[in-house]
Copies of this chain bind each other. A is one copy, B any other.
Amino acid sequence: MTGWVTVAGLGPGDAAQITPEVSDALAEATDVVGYIPYVARIAPRAGLRLHPSDNRAETDRARHALDMAAQGLRVVIVSSGDPGVFAMASALFEVLEERPDRDADIRVLPGITAMLAAAARAGAPLGHDFCAINLSDNLKPFAIIERRLRHAARGDFAMAFYNPRSASRPDGFARVLDILRAECEPQRLMVFARAVSTPDEDLRIVSLAQATPDMADMRTVVLVGNRATRRVGRWVYTPRSARAAGV
């Protein structure tokens, strides 16, 4: 029996947003590794070992997965959303660089990433060119975040922010809002989408002028429209045409 590692995206929370190819990989697995709340989403069954681990243990988790695969086990690394968007896929390849088994049997299976689940609930706020920015400053200095925010605003991209705010860095998101206010008009539409597709789901559509730091936490994805983003009925959307939007 040849072992393998599959990095799989579970989507934002609802099992109805897990693709069949991810479900199939989980059905074939002997071992599942991942951050505690993501592994908690996997139904136990005979023959399946669950290995939940703490946040920020990404590289240890990747090593563990590759070690088990080298022993012939079939390992799924679970990520929330999509594994390639601020999640486990990059951590796995970082670890692969250190190792002799670079030809290990690895697959990456995409998932519904949080910004697209949130956008779908709100309408189509990312319907034109957009950026995805991780606001966590664990892995990059805030100066890089600021530079990217300014380029995104000056290019009139819509934006999606992951990890906007945590207890360990309560002030960062306030600084982000200050930068947006310096670059964008006060009427700019924003969506605060918390825990999309779970029982805790909460969606707020506000203007940049109305936005406050406490509207976001680590379960929130924040979307920012471009200059043309509009409301219609209960929806928010970005028109397809830059010409029609008068840009």
Contacts and interface: CB of A to CB of B under 8 A. Distances in A.
A167 interface: no
Q: Specify how many copies of this chain sit in the oligomer.
A: 2
A141 interface: yes
Contacts of A244: 139
A17 interface: yes
B110 A117 contact: yes
A124 interface: yes
Nearest to A159: B131
Contact of A241 (B102, B126, B139): B139
A236 to B, nearest CB: 8
A230 B124 CA distance: 33
B127 A129 contact: no
A86 B243 contact: no
Interface residues of A, number: 78
Interface string A14-43: 111111110010000000000000000000
A76 to B, nearest CB: 14
Given A20-B15, A120-B109, A85 B126 contact: yes
Contact of A233 (B96, B232, B233): B96
A49 interface: no
Given A17-B21, A92-B124, 11 more contacts: A17-B110, A84-B119, A84-B125, A89-B120, A90-B127, A102-B232, A110-B116, A110-B120, A130-B132, A140-B247, A151-B154
Interface of A: 11, 14-21, 24, 58, 82-87, 89-94, 96-97, 102-103, 106, 108-113, 116-117, 119-121, 123-134, 139-141, 144, 147-148, 150-152, 154-157, 230, 232-235, 237-244, 247
